[in-house]
Amino acid sequence: MYVQEFQTESTLPSRSLIDQRPRSLINRALAQAGIESMLLALRFRNWLSDSEKCLLDLLVPDRSLIFLANQGEYLHPENTPLGPLDGLMSEASVTTFSEAIFSRRFCPEHNGESETFRVQTAGLCTQDDIRLVIGHLSPDLSSTHADESEFTQLVRQFRNAWAATIPIANVLKKRFERIEGPWLVVNRAAGRVLLANEAAAGALGLTLDRLIDSEYSSISDRYVSLSPGRKLSMDNVTVDGIHLSIVSHVANERPSETTLDPQVDFLVHGMRNKISAVMTAVSHLDTIAAHDLESEERELTGIIMSEVANLDAYLNRMELLFNYDKYPVRSITLSDELAETVRRSAEWRTDKGQVNLQVYGIDTVACLPVVALNVLFDSALRSHLGHKARRSLTEIAISEQTDQKRVIVNIQTAFADVNHVPAFVVAWQQYCERLCRLMNAVITQHVAGNGTVLTTNLEIPVNVE
């Protein structure tokens, strides 16, 4: 729905402001990842980085102005008198939940010569203290259906991008609640810092706006050495194609009970730096090949990024076995960790099956090292579903043994092919057993149902302190 008006105004952005907009357009389909990254960041900070402002400017033609506001305050362009547009922005913000798009034509007077401007605005979203409105101003435009369609497509793209960031934003919020001290969120595809807290900026001697957008490789050495006696934790988060890493410093809350070769930390850190460099290089290659969405080069860069992310995950698993006693202990809700593991398993599962999770209202909290539960659940699932693709049904249930202060997680996988003899993936089975010993958990795995069903029982101590 379009709401259109016409009026005469004497106050509008100057022609110089509009003429200084970029002279080239970016392919909007290729900009989707950047838009999602920008809107994800706006869920946690009420300002735009320089690269995000540049991206906005590249979404509209030359001699046009795109603007974005939150709660009636302009995020871009900042400190710009937009005159009568303020009223139009307020109208659009009221209709955030609707499909309405406002369109208005202005006829200001500039040195006795009249020129028509057209502005279109629309509400994007309303959530908590966020009320985003987008607008587009351009001179010498008549009210054509083509112009309306162009802006409508842009609004739809932003609304879809906002919706796409909901799952990963929820994951980040839960992660941030567990972190004490400095933390960064790095966009793994770009190798740049997307989010950070004031503690991280202050420790690095930077303002928050200077830290955001910086190349992680340029600050990684300083960031690693920030807090002597604290351990660097890199938690990879991937949801619906958005690849992030949360890099934080966590305290060694208990002394190590194992004898650890000091070279392990050195080697793991070195490998992570190489992974970061590869991801940054591949991201640049992907940008170079971006003009052709179907090119073999883009397909290859996608494969490289995916495999490097997998390599990083294997490093996390290996480091957990070596450094388990150095990981800080946190209170973790078992059902939440299991639900997240199941959701993320869709990214690696090659089976043609289905995974159902039954929590039964269990909301038990365990006191364990961070990431340990997620890695354990993931490894157990991989021991069931890590073979080549086969149709299967996996049922996961949680029950509680109150007297023994243990939680039981039961995983059962039945395969549709009656001629298939199911078997565990031995390497993942052995990894689970070793991790369970470190966690003081008990694992039992066997083939049931007359040899047709894989069954895993995990008895996990609650140990709430």
DSSP code per residue over 174-237: HHHHH--S-EEEEETTTTEEEEE-HHHHHHHT--HHHHTT-BHHHHHHHHHTSSTTEEEEEEEE
DSSP state, residue 265: H
Please state whether the peptide bond connecting residue 77 to the residue before it is cis, i.e. omega within 30 degrees of 0: yes
pLDDT at position 80, please? Answer: 60
R_g (Cα) of the chain, nearest Å: 26
Helix, strand, coil % over all residues of the chain, rounded to 5? 40, 30, 30
Give dist(CA 96, CA 128) in Å, integer.
13
pLDDT at position 44, please? Answer: 94
Q: Between helices 166-178 and 334-345, what is the axis angle to 10°?
A: 140
**Of 44, 74, 46, 68, which is closest to residue 56 (Cα–Cα)?**
68
Q: Which residues contact 175 (CB under 8 A, 6 or more apart)?
A: 235, 237, 246
Beta bridge partners of 355: 394
pLDDT at position 56, please? Answer: 92
Give dist(CA 263, CA 271) in Å, integer.
12
pLDDT at position 317, please? Answer: 87
Q: Which residues contact 430 (CB under 8 A, 6 or more apart)?
A: none
Sign of the CA dihedral running 433, 437, 439, 441: positive
Give dist(CA 385, CA 413) in Å, integer.
8
* List of the chain residues with pLDDT < 50: 1-19, 21-23, 111, 253-260, 464-465
pLDDT at position 247, please? Answer: 87
Q: Which residues contact 141 (CB under 8 A, 6 or more apart)?
A: 116, 117, 118, 147
pLDDT at position 61, please? Answer: 82
Give dist(CA 459, CA 126) in Å, integer.
43
β 392-401/354-358 pair status:
parallel
pLDDT at position 11, please? Answer: 44
pLDDT at position 376, please? Answer: 94
Beta bridge partners of 65: 137
Q: What predicted TM-score, i.e. pTM, was given to this entire model?
A: 0.55
pLDDT at position 258, please? Answer: 43
pLDDT at position 286, please? Answer: 66
